[in-house]
Amino acid sequence: MEIVDSIEALRIARAGLRGTVGVIPTMGALHGGHRSLVDEARAEHDSIIVTIFINPMQFAPGEDLAAYPRDLPGDLKLLEAAGVDLVFTPTPDLMYPPGYQTYVEVETITEGLEGSHRPGHFRGVATVVSKLFHLTMPDTAYFGQKDAQQVAVIRRMVDDLNFPLNIAIVPTIREADGLAMSSRNTYLTPEQRAAAPVLYQALQAAGTAYASGERQPAILQTIMRQTLAHEPQAVIDYVSIDDAQTLHPVNQPTDKPILLSMAVKIGHTRLIDNGLLPLALNTRTGLEQMLGNPAV
């Protein structure tokens, strides 16, 4: 496994990779969710690139940029064991040198959900991911369902800007008690960690109601909110029911696939989770047909 931290070294190493290339952009502090993306890519491509970069541009002032978990030795061990060929670990200065002034803005699909709670977040994501696509020139880039709006935004951008690559969407990997794996879970105290599965429980409660025929978005949303309210440490940022393809809010009962999503604070840690209904759509094929599908 080769590790590079300059543009020149990356270009040389990229040129030396054989066959098709899968890329997995990450912010490091890797866990089983990242591993799942790498494994899918490994099964489908001759060569695998992982990028590790905590992108300052996607953090708003007051967010957790400085505290964001870092574990490069642990990350490299995981990636080596997973059979990765090339790791790119740029610094912020390398990605955004003095004088930098070019940005990528995706419009409507960034407006709701995370976009409305994290100003500038998707501008930072779209900009860095564009740069990483140009630098790594993958055949396929792998993203997690865990950040459902992110992958919808990136699909839109790839389609709008004619990037010559495919986007694969990998289902959310969870801990045994349902908590979605996340680098930010390391912030949780034991007591907060015990409370955190309530996000998954909220998804499950709405899923159960849906399976018994409930289609009223307001009721599904109430069920999620009530479940979260049972956990005194959970403070809701938002709970939302949206069209699974457009991510527009759904107000009327519908049989079209929907995305349930939420952001919830437990202590200072902001956790997000989501799920598609019907439940059978939470597979790679289902997700790829739905989230931000450019055909829509």
The site for ligand AMP (CB under 6 A) is made up of 26-27, 33-34, 36-37, 143-144, 146-147, 170, 172-173, 180-183
**DSSP 8-state assignment for residue 181:** P
Q: How far apart are CA 138 and CA 144, in angstroms?
A: 17
Catalytic entry in 34, 121, 134, 248: 34
Which tokens belong to 190? 């034991």
Looking at the Cβ atoms of 35 and 215, the one nearer to ligand AMP is 35
Indicate the residue among 170 and 223 with the shorter CB distance to ligand AMP: 170
Q: Is 45 a catalytic residue?
A: no
Residue 139 and residue 45 in contact, taking contact as beta carbons nearer than 8 Å: yes
Question: At its nearest, how many Å lie between ligand AMP and the CB of residue 164?
Answer: 20
CA distances in angstroms from 160 to 104, 121, 164, 294, listed in the order given: 11, 19, 11, 9
Least spacing, CB of residue 156 vs ligand AMP, in Å: 15
**Distance in angstroms (rounded) separating the CA atoms of residues 139 and 144:** 17
228/272 with CB nearer ligand AMP: 272
Query: 23 or 223: whose CB is closer to ligand AMP?
Result: 23
DSSP one-letter code for 249 = B
Which residue, among 10, 24, 25, 13, has the nearest Cα to 55 in the 3D structure?
A: 25
Compute the distance between CA of residue 157 and CA of residue 222 in angstroms, rounded to an integer. 33
Q: How far is the CB of 54 from ligand AMP (least distance, A)?
A: 9
Closer to ligand AMP by Cβ: residue 159 or 214: 159
Question: At CA 105, angle to CA 99 and CA 109, rounded to 5?
Answer: 160
Alpha-carbon gap, residue 258 to 261, rounded angstroms: 10
Nearest approach in angstroms of CB 137 to ligand AMP is 18
Least Cβ distance, residue 146 to ligand AMP (angstroms): 4
Q: E strands, 162-256, where?
A: 166-170, 234-243
Residues involved in catalysis? 34
